[in-house]
Structure 1
Amino acid sequence: MAKVNRARSTSPPDGGWGWMIVAGCFFVTICTRAVTRCISIFFVEFQTYFSQDYAQTAWIHSIVDCVTMLCGLGFALCYSPAIAMVGKYFSRRKALAYGISMSGSGIGIFILAPVVQLLIEQFSWRGALLILGGFVLNLCVCGALMRPITLKEDQTTPEQNPVCRTQTQDLKQASPCSAWTKEWVRTCLCGSLQQEYSFLLTSDFAVLATSVLFMAYGCSPLFVYFVPYALSVGVTHQQAAFLMSILGVIDIIGNITFGWLTDRRCLKNYQYVCYLVAIGLDGLCYLCLPMLQSLPLLVPFACTFGYFDGAYVTLIPVVTAEIVGTTFLSSALGVVYFLHAVPYLVSPPIAGWLVDTTGSYTAAFLLCGFSMIFSSLLLGFARVVKKMKKTQLRFLAKESDPKLQLWTNGSVAYSVARELDQKDGESVTQQCLVPVPHDQWP
């Protein structure tokens, strides 16, 4: 097989072939996230054909989303790597690049929702799924656009302990099948994995991971139950598909405009805050949904929820990169999307069970709303606590030494004033040691 030629660069190019990566990621999100979210249109067909309740039917969508985020199977082999590649090619305009890439989900919903409804009417749900399967084959074309790139930080990051690597090679030459060789290889692999996933031990990533669990629990059920809820309040099938299209097109606007806005100089340092605000506002939309029981009221909901859904989805890779850095972005994104799996698996069936038990969507939507609001508040509280600790550290440092000027870079702090005092003391000592002539002795 031909060897893959890697594009080499010392820093993210912020353009060039990067825009082809963005285009590939754009179509990947259409073929993955948009297709799975259109399963909401199939929900009523499945429920009618198989004569099952809400909780049982919801497992179809839950398993698709869970496997996508949990395994290396199916859509997962396309979705996470495509997103990570965008982060490799862009730095200065990263939020905008992600906004364009992730807008594929909204555009896909906008186009596919009415198309899927038409396909179901013409070819039944079985024929519609076959046609969607042929459409998803375009992922092969998207994969051909992904050209690997080697960045400066990737070149400087050691992949393996050199001592470990040398000893492993010696042992392999001595006895390739010996037990010692296998043990050394296992030890080296564990060390490499420990280095690659060292960000898991940081408190910032632990808070982000916990927040992602609650956010993922809240965001998934709407795309399963929005169409059935609209039908339950008297909206027609065509109007319900139209609502999904509105949600999709506004999702596009949220992806692109929010990514562009947060890349501006005035908001560049507040991307983390914008992320948690968008999640909190989506939670508030959930709380209002049970009171909206007509098409004129559901249209503004679709616009509002769709915009902020696109907004925070765009910032997930940006916030992750801010916490772990570009070098570990691919691994960190894999973990973040892996954490989506369990909530995606259980939240639609739990919401369906609540609908079956209460005979209403109110309890299911309220639970999702409070889950997303808690996710936002958790991130905000963690950021406030971190800033308070930094302020307290600076205050204590100034109190202990008035001349101390403190710079913080991670956990390293140093004093320029103290170093200057030491140099002054050394110069005075040297002056005192200069020999004096005898005639000048006192």
Structure 2
Amino acid sequence: MQGLDVDTIMPPAAETKLGYTPPDGGWGWAVVLGAFISIGFSYAFPKSLTVYFKEIQAYFSVSYSEIAWVSSVMLATMYAAGPVSSILVNRYGSRPVVMVGGLMVSSGMVLASFGTSIIHLYLCVGVIGGLGLAFNLQPSLAIVGTYFHVKRPLANGLAMTGSPVVLFTLAPLNQFLFDCFGWRGSFLILGAIVLNCCVAGALMRPVKKSVKPQPKTETPPAASEEDGARSSDFQIEENQTESRCQGCAHRFIDFSLFKHRGFLIYLIGNVVMFFGLFAPVVFLAPYARHQGIDEYSSAFLLSIFALVDMFVRPLTGLLGNTKWIRPRIQYFFSFAVFFNGVCHLLCPLAQGYVGLVLYTVVFGMAFGMLCALLFEVLMDLIGAQHFSSAVGLVTIIECGPVLLGPPISGALVDAFGDYKYMFYACGVILSACGIFFFVMHFYNYKKLDEERKQSLAAERRTSEEAVKLKMSPDDKAAYEAEG
């Protein structure tokens, strides 16, 4: 990608309501690096711990379902704690929250290494570690939007690439640590490794907001100084009252988002989509073993998946930043969701290991596209100023599908004794969500265009009335005669 001038394929900066001009570069790229590390650990850490489950299961004499709840509790806590993380980000900023999150995950892993029961692991790895991961995820997603506007899809795509890169790195590393130190020693070492999230948090310096002063507007001649002073005092008092009311509500969570048309479209589609999003990843290796493929070759499919995902995410961010896609990026996301669904519907047709490798490559492309756009499209819908609160609301609502999706898919496998029905179900869910997103965003874009035209018409009428106020009676009569 060297030699490619990114600025030449990016659309001009759109108008932003942040109150300042994002730098779109500079220290922002260091922030992207910090988000890359933090997001990578947030998503990859729960998946990578499955390497130790077999020995832990034998050590505590528990069933597979009981040991599987360690990762499930960790993921569920990470999603459920979204609003808490959003509150802390709005109050203290991203940097201290991410650093505290890294310390919490590290502490949870160290305490878990001394565990004496499976409940101990639920509390240390699941609850404490999951809460720490929540403090890593939401602030990292939010701060990227404060540094970037024009290049935001590219920045988000690079930050989200942390998930497959960290997973691709942790999977063999965990196997090496397991062989050398067992699960207790490995948990101690992982507790030290995850302290890199504190380093990532230290990179997240708050953006310097250089606000340009608003040009002064002349008071119409018809308005007296007394009327202007009275209007100014009333406006100041009204703004102070509104700020106090909004401050009390926004200090916790911004429930006014439930009145936002774009946010509701995103939320409804995502809740359904998450029931079928993660199950194919979880059951990819077991499905390969079910077809008679050996364990090492089956596990290698996940490495192929992570490798493809790793390269697709930044490429998707770069593509989403082009002048052809950026103005209607919601359609691109709709295609990515639908692409995932079609991919799973065709999976049962893949025969043999070569067929599964081909499916894994296509699945990695589709999954990488979807994940690279997942939070970018939310920020595009509601704006960066409301993004932190929006992520908190979305993640706590998505906690249910994330926790229940894989078990429900596993129940389909148990009921029919075949994995293909699980892939069919996930394919239907994602394909339907892709169609839903496309139709609803077509409607949303149409309404936004209508509202923009109405706003321009209202501004034009206001400017015409202001011009008439400055006209003499003769000029006004001539102006109306020409109109």
Could you state the TM-score of these two structures normalised by the residue count of structure 1?
0.76
Matches within 5 A, 1:11-410: 11-39=21-49, 41=51, 52=63, 58-71=68-81, 72=84, 73-149=131-207, 151=209, 162-163=240-241, 190-192=248-250, 196-387=254-445, 407-409=453-455
Amino-acid identity (%) = 29
Cα contact 1:40–1:224 (8 A) shared by 2: no
Measure the CA separation in 2 of the matches of 1:432 and 1:121: 89
Gaps of 5+ in 2: 1-17, 85-130, 215-235, 479-483
Cα contact 1:217–1:347 (8 A) shared by 2: yes
Measure the CA separation in 2 of the matches of 1:432 and 1:363: 74
Give the CA deviation at 1:24: 0.6
When residues 364 and 192 of structure 1 are mapped into structure 2, their CA distance, relative to the original with a 3 A threshold, is same
Measure the CA separation in 1 of the matches of 2:352 and 2:49: 23
Give the CA deviation at 1:163: 3.6
Measure the CA separation in 1 of the matches of 2:476 and 2:423: 81
When residues 163 and 229 of structure 1 are mapped into structure 2, their CA distance, relative to the original with a 3 A threshold, is same
When residues 47 and 211 of structure 1 are mapped into structure 2, their CA distance, relative to the original with a 3 A threshold, is farther
Give CA-to-partner distance per residue, 1:291-314, whole Å, 9 cap, x none: 335321121222111122121212
Give the CA deviation at 1:137: 2.2
Aligned pair count reads 390
Measure the CA separation in 1 of the matches of 2:283 and 2:265: 29
Cα contact 2:468–2:476 (8 A) shared by 1: no
Measure the CA separation in 1 of the matches of 2:388 and 2:477: 60
2:240 partner letter: P
Secondary structure of 2:453's counterpart equals strand
Measure the CA separation in 2 of the matches of 1:125 and 1:305: 31
Measure the CA separation in 2 of the matches of 1:262 and 1:192: 31
When residues 33 and 292 of structure 1 are mapped into structure 2, their CA distance, relative to the original with a 3 A threshold, is same
Give the CA deviation at 1:115: 2.9
Q: Does 1:414 align with 2:458?
A: yes
When residues 46 and 373 of structure 1 are mapped into structure 2, their CA distance, relative to the original with a 3 A threshold, is farther
* Bigger Cα displacement from structure 2, 311-320 vs 86-95: 311-320
Cα contact 1:33–1:105 (8 A) shared by 2: yes
1:430 corresponds in structure 2 to: 474
2:71 partner letter: H
Measure the CA separation in 2 of the matches of 1:10 and 1:416: 26
Give CA-to-partner distance per residue, 1:190-213, whole Å, 9 cap, x none: 444599442321122111101111
When residues 432 and 12 of structure 1 are mapped into structure 2, their CA distance, relative to the original with a 3 A threshold, is closer
Secondary structure of 2:161's counterpart equals helix
Measure the CA separation in 1 of the matches of 2:250 and 2:366: 38
When residues 126 and 155 of structure 1 are mapped into structure 2, their CA distance, relative to the original with a 3 A threshold, is farther
Give CA-to-partner distance per residue, 1:139-161, whole Å, 9 cap, x none: 111111111225468999x9x96
Cα contact 1:62–1:348 (8 A) shared by 2: no
Give the CA deviation at 1:42: 5.1
Give the CA deviation at 1:360: 2.0
Cα contact 2:261–2:444 (8 A) shared by 1: no
2:198 partner letter: C
Measure the CA separation in 1 of the matches of 2:258 and 2:375: 16
Give CA-to-partner distance per residue, 1:406-433, whole Å, 9 cap, x none: 9344xx6438589869979997963799
1:414 partner letter: A
* Bigger Cα displacement from structure 2, 258-267 vs 418-427: 418-427
When residues 40 and 348 of structure 1 are mapped into structure 2, their CA distance, relative to the original with a 3 A threshold, is farther
Cα contact 2:24–2:149 (8 A) shared by 1: yes
Secondary structure of 1:91's counterpart equals coil
RMSD: 3.7
When residues 195 and 47 of structure 1 are mapped into structure 2, their CA distance, relative to the original with a 3 A threshold, is closer
Gaps of 5+ in 1: 1-7, 167-186, 395-405, 435-442
Cα contact 2:21–2:209 (8 A) shared by 1: yes
Measure the CA separation in 1 of the matches of 2:250 and 2:378: 21
Give the CA deviation at 1:48: 7.2
Measure the CA separation in 2 of the matches of 1:13 and 1:89: 6
Larger Rg over CA atoms: 1
Give CA-to-partner distance per residue, 1:22-43, whole Å, 9 cap, x none: 1111111222212223345556
Give the CA deviation at 1:106: 1.2
Cα contact 2:319–2:325 (8 A) shared by 1: yes
* Bigger Cα displacement from structure 2, 315-324 vs 414-423: 414-423
Cα contact 1:114–1:238 (8 A) shared by 2: no
Cα contact 2:153–2:320 (8 A) shared by 1: yes
2:333 partner letter: Y
Cα contact 2:19–2:211 (8 A) shared by 1: no
Measure the CA separation in 2 of the matches of 1:17 and 1:383: 34
Measure the CA separation in 1 of the matches of 2:367 and 2:213: 36
Cα contact 2:53–2:67 (8 A) shared by 1: yes
Give the CA deviation at 1:344: 0.7
1:102 partner letter: M
Secondary structure of 2:385's counterpart equals coil
When residues 426 and 155 of structure 1 are mapped into structure 2, their CA distance, relative to the original with a 3 A threshold, is closer
